[in-house]
Each structure stands twice: as structure tokens, then as C-alpha cells.
Amino acid sequence: MRRPLTALSASAALALAAFTPLATADAATPLKVAVTGFNASPEPVAYTGTVTGRGQIMIVRADGSRTPAPHASYRLQFSTDKRTWGNKSALTSTDEQGRFNVTGKAYHDGYWRVAVQGGGDYTATAGPSDFVDVRYLTRILDYFAAPDPVRKGATVTLQGMLYRYTDKWHHFTQQKMYFYFRPKGSTKWSYLGSTRGDRNELFRKGFKATKDGTWRAYYPGSTAYAKVYRDEYVDVR
């Protein structure tokens, strides 16, 4: 006797269901991760200089233990206010130990972080931020200590010009310069005095020479400008 068609269809459906795995059972659940040990350096950094972000991305297990997250995709990001973030690097991946070393150009004071991209093996997350101060570059040109050699007890004149970089290199006038001396064979610097540059960015100061050694002109920087120095060795006879 033939079975009704409806009964055969129901039996076939049950058999098919028994041998067909559920899609939800096979789908891999993304692993929770965290960014640890993040540091952005140098601090401060020169305007248009390179900031390097280093740290590690770790898998966070249900019991709270952690293990490295290899090949986790991430980007270096920047924000001036910690609310709006922009990408400062291409999408890249951690090494086998979950470590990363990524760079971006600095144009403003602000916060840097690493953000993990979700949608693969790992959940999306952003790590802690690190503030980096940006300062304009400075440099000392045409620096010299003269005469060289110099007679013992005579005057050595230190002279040079200070510049600053914003959109291009400009004269940096009337800034206070500091002078130091380190005798030959010594590691200790002695402070000698200071002077201000004139309206033509030139600074000049004379000191009595008693020993062979190195004469340093130093600009200490400010909240907006980076520090800089130049050294010149003079032989005393």
C-alpha cells in the first residue's frame, strides 16, 4: 500500500534536518580583545614629526585570563578632543604575539590610540589614549666659537643664529640663549651665562677661556617650540 505523499515529505524533512548542521552552531563567535601597554612617543614630538604607537592586543577569556591576539587588524588613530577620531595609518595586523608598532605624522597636540577592527576573529574595540604635545622645530645655524685655537685667559666669542619652523624656516629673533662649557675629558657641563638674540636673529656672547673643551649654545624651548643646541670645541694654548 502506498504511503500518502504528505507523510513521505514529513519523513524526508526530518531526516534532512538530522543531517544538516545549523548555521548558528558553525558560526565562530568573535573573541573579545583588549589593547594593553599602549604608548605614543616621542613626547613632545616635532611638528610634522613621526609618532610611534607601541603595545599589544590580547584576547580576554571568560575567566579573565589573557593571551596574545595574533594577526588582529588595527589602525592608529588621532583626536584633538577624544570625541572625534581619525585614522592616521593604513589597516595593518599584529604579529604572532599580538604586538604592534605603527607610525603616523603629527601636526597638532592631541590624543593617539589604536583601534581594533571587528568583523573577523576579534571584536571591535579601541584602546586607551596617550596625549602627545607637538612643538615647532628650531635650529641653530652658523654657530662658531672663536678664535680657535685661543690664548689662555683670552676671550672666546660664541655666535650663531636661531631659526624656527612653522610653514617654513623663519628667523627666531630676541630669544634667550644659554651657554655651557665642558672641559676636555669631563662629562660635566658648567653654566656660563645667557643673552638674547638681536632683531636679526644673531646671538653673541664672550667668555674667558682657561681650558680646552666644548662650548654649547642652548635654546631651552617652550610650550610651542622644541629645544635645540649646538656644540663647538676650542683648543686653548
**Predicted confidence (pLDDT) per residue in 10-62, tens digit:** 444 444 444 444 333 345 789 999 999 999 999 999 999 999 999 999 999 99
List % helix, strand, coil for the chain (3-state, nearest 5): 10, 50, 40
- Average pLDDT score over the chain: 90
Q: Calculate mean pLDDT across residues 104-120.
A: 95
CATH number for the domain running over 138-234 = 2.60.40.10
51-101 pLDDT, tens digit per residue, is 999 999 999 999 999 999 999 999 999 999 999 999 999 999 999 999 999
CB atoms < 10 A from the CB of 58, how many?
21
Rounded distance, CA 218 to CA 201, Å?
Answer: 14
pLDDT number for residue 169: 93
Residue 172 reports pLDDT greater than 90 = yes
Q: Calculate mean pLDDT across residues 92-116.
A: 97
Rounded distance, CA 120 to CA 100, Å?
Answer: 18
Q: Which CATH class is domain 26-135?
A: mainly beta
Rounded distance, CA 235 to CA 237, Å?
Answer: 7
Please give the share of the chain, as a percent, with pLDDT higher than 70.
Answer: 89
Q: Calculate mean pLDDT across residues 202-223.
A: 96
Residue 189 reports pLDDT greater than 60 = yes
Rounded distance, CA 54 to CA 52, Å?
Answer: 6
Residue 9 reports pLDDT greater than 80 = no
pLDDT number for residue 201: 78
Q: Calculate mean pLDDT across residues 196-201.
A: 86
Domain with CATH 2.60.40.10 in the chain: 26-135, 138-234
pLDDT range class, residue 136, cuts 50, 70, 90: very high
pLDDT number for residue 178: 98
Q: Calculate mean pLDDT across residues 117-133.
A: 94
Rounded distance, CA 132 to CA 137, Å?
Answer: 15
For 185-221, letters b (16+ CB in 10 Å) and e give eeeeeeeeeeeebeeebebebeeebeebbbbbbbbee
